[in-house]
Structure 1
Amino acid sequence: MKLPPLKALPVFEAVARLNSFSLAADELAVSQSAISHQIKQLETYLGEQLFWRNGRTLSLTDEGRQYLDGISTALLQIERASEQLLGHEESRLRLSVFSSFAVRWLVPRLPDLQRLHPQVELSLEMSIESPVLSDRVADCFITIHKESPAYSYELLYVERLFPVCSQDYWQKMRRELGRESAEAETLPLSTDDISQFPLLSTHSIFDKTAGDWQAWYKAVDASIPKHANVQHFSHMLLALEAARFHQGIVLTNDYMLSTTKDSEDFVRLPCHLVMTGDEFYFAWKTSRRKERGLQLLRKWLLDEAISSGLRSA
């Protein structure tokens, strides 16, 4: 078996992760010259330059990035295997997750994860867009893309949008629409009914102005009336908060209303829904599939998705 200088591998991983020779030296409790020597030894063995050095700026070369992706997994597997043999059950996992999914669905459920699996130490990495699947970013991901063949995927949720408003705003709507009787409360609202009130729109869902409401109207072969008052927000979290404070009607999804408090604050209007085309997956590197921490987290997420109604059994 022909192996590279093994002492240099954790040094290379630390420098690449911290993007600094000096910080890596502090973490590994060695001198900066020792770090430089190990990196130079590894580059000589590989015959490739792993870092670009420009004054104080340090960055991985393409070859360095490719090498890091390969050895990071191997080093983690060595660490996990050693911990299991030593009887240490702790599993430290970095989960990259969309900010809205984390805030509205995942974080309220974390005490349950800690109670059931105290050996799993979960660190959340917030992302606005779907991140690149790589050990450099996180150990596992909640993503809407299934592009990397090196990863396995578990479906958690197929996104759909439906209109909601606050409890107080619903009473206002009923008065103005003449639906104050108990019998009229559950009668379907038409697109014309909805357009009489401010439409709170989230730009980030379809990445275009009023794209969410355009899709909702299009689902029943209609379009947004010219007289409609559309108010624009960059993110669903903002639009939903505006609706919470009685400012209009917002299109939201299931995980945004997954807690008891949210279900009490909002009313889901008797209207049609629209599918966005996005599917949310829990993703983990297939080569790490036997790690107990990943197995526990995958099963817990799936159980929670089923019990909360995000997906069927």
Structure 2
Amino acid sequence: MKLPPLKALPVFEAVARLNSFSMAAQELAVSQSAVSHQIKQLETYLGEKLFWRSGRTLTLTDEGRQYLDAISTALLQIERASEQLLGHEESRLRLSVFSSFAVRWLVPRLPGLQRLHPQVELALEMSSENPVLSDRVADCFITIHRDSPAYSYELLYVERLFPVCSQDYWQRIRRELGREAALTGRDEPAMTTAEIARFPLLSIHSIYDKAAGDWEAWFRNVNETIPSGARVQHFSHMLLALEAARFHQGIALTNDYMLSTRKDSEEFVRLPSHSLVTGDKFYFAWKTSRRRERGIQILRRWLVSEAIEGGLRSEVG
């Protein structure tokens, strides 16, 4: 078995992760010259330049980035295997997750994970866009894409959008539409799209990457268009639009995981109207080569159980 200089591998990983020779030296408790020597030794062995240095700027070469992706997984597996053999039960995992999913669905449930599995130490990496699947970013992911053949995926949720408003705003809608005499709840008559368009529409740019794209798709789902006189207020993120709805500013389109706690169900009203399936599917993703890691499988099973119990997905997925 022909192996590279093994002492140089954790040094290379630290420099690449921290983007600094001096910070890597500090983390590893060695001198900066020792770090430079290890990187030079590794580059000589591989016959490839791993970093570009320009003044104080340090960047990975394409070869360095490719090598990092490969050895990071190997180093993590060595660490996990050693911890298991030593009897260390702790599992430290970095989970990259969309900010809205984290804030509205995951974080309120984390105390339950900690009670059931205190050995799992979970660090959240918030992402506003779909993250690049790589060990350099996180150990596992909540993602809507399945484009990496190196990863395995478990379905958590198929997204649908539906209109909501605050309890106070719902009473205003009922007054203006003359619905005050009607029964509330399950027997509430369905609202027409024209009735909904009479009130401010709180739009989220991030879903369809265009102004009013969410409401356009919602109206198009029933072969209609947004009325020309509709008032549309724009927000970059679903969290912002939902907060605006909470404070009685209009009607927002939201999804199931955004309204997943009892408090939310008390503060918001889901309007009696149709929903829109966006086509986005939320998956828990982990590198297939790490499928035997106990922490990843504990987290996977817990997420699926919570998704089923909370109604995000069915038993069969």
Q: TM-score, normalised by structure 1?
A: 0.99
In structure 2, give the amino acid aligned to 1:262: D
- Residues of 2 paired with 1:253 and 1:183: CA distance? 25
Match of 2:7 in 1: 7
Residues 75-114 of structure 1: pairs in structure 2 closer than 5 A: 75-114=75-114
Match of 1:246 in 2: 248
Listed as ranges, the gaps of 5+ residues in structure 2 are none
In structure 1, give the amino acid aligned to 2:303: L
What secondary structure sits across from 1:183 in the alignment? coil
- Residues of 2 paired with 1:76 and 1:182: CA distance? 61
Query: Alpha-carbon deviation of 1:182?
Result: 3.9
What secondary structure sits across from 2:252 in the alignment? strand
- Residues of 2 paired with 1:222 and 1:54: CA distance? 57
Match of 1:167 in 2: 167
In structure 2, give the amino acid aligned to 1:202: I
From 272, 275, 278, the counterpart of 2:274: 272
- Residues of 2 paired with 1:94 and 1:182: CA distance? 50
Residues 1-313 of structure 1: pairs in structure 2 closer than 5 A: 1-183=1-183, 186-313=188-315
- Residues of 1 paired with 2:33 and 2:236: CA distance? 48
The size of the alignment, in residue pairs, is 313
What secondary structure sits across from 1:239 in the alignment? helix
In structure 2, give the amino acid aligned to 1:82: S
- Residues of 2 paired with 1:62 and 1:225: CA distance? 51
- Residues of 1 paired with 2:135 and 2:62: CA distance? 16
- Residues of 2 paired with 1:206 and 1:101: CA distance? 17
Query: Alpha-carbon deviation of 1:184?
Result: 6.5
CA spacing shift, 1:184–1:254, aligned 2, 3 Å:
closer
CA spacing shift, 1:122–1:184, aligned 2, 3 Å:
closer
Query: Alpha-carbon deviation of 1:181?
Result: 2.1
- Residues of 2 paired with 1:26 and 1:251: CA distance? 49
- Residues of 2 paired with 1:183 and 1:15: CA distance? 65
- Residues of 1 paired with 2:183 and 2:75: CA distance? 64
**C-alpha distance after superposition, 1:107-154 (max 9, x if no partner):** 000100111111110000000110110000000000000000000000
- Residues of 2 paired with 1:226 and 1:40: CA distance? 65
Listed as ranges, the gaps of 5+ residues in structure 1 are none
What secondary structure sits across from 2:286 in the alignment? strand
**C-alpha distance after superposition, 1:16-60 (max 9, x if no partner):** 000000000011000000000000000000000000001111010
- Residues of 2 paired with 1:236 and 1:183: CA distance? 30
In structure 2, give the amino acid aligned to 1:273: S
Query: Alpha-carbon deviation of 1:260?
Result: 1.0
- Residues of 2 paired with 1:237 and 1:282: CA distance? 21
- Residues of 2 paired with 1:52 and 1:90: CA distance? 37
- Residues of 1 paired with 2:262 and 2:158: CA distance? 21
In structure 2, give the amino acid aligned to 1:225: P
**C-alpha distance after superposition, 1:75-129 (max 9, x if no partner):** 0000000000000011110000000000000000010011111111000000011
What secondary structure sits across from 1:250 in the alignment? strand
What secondary structure sits across from 1:121 in the alignment? strand
What secondary structure sits across from 1:276 in the alignment? strand
CA spacing shift, 1:167–1:184, aligned 2, 3 Å:
closer
What secondary structure sits across from 1:279 in the alignment? strand
User: Equivalent pairs: percent with the same residue?
Assistant: 81
In structure 1, give the amino acid aligned to 2:55: G
Q: TM-score, normalised by structure 2?
A: 0.98
**C-alpha distance after superposition, 1:171-196 (max 9, x if no partner):** 01001101112436611000011011
In structure 1, give the amino acid aligned to 2:241: A
In structure 2, give the amino acid aligned to 1:66: Q
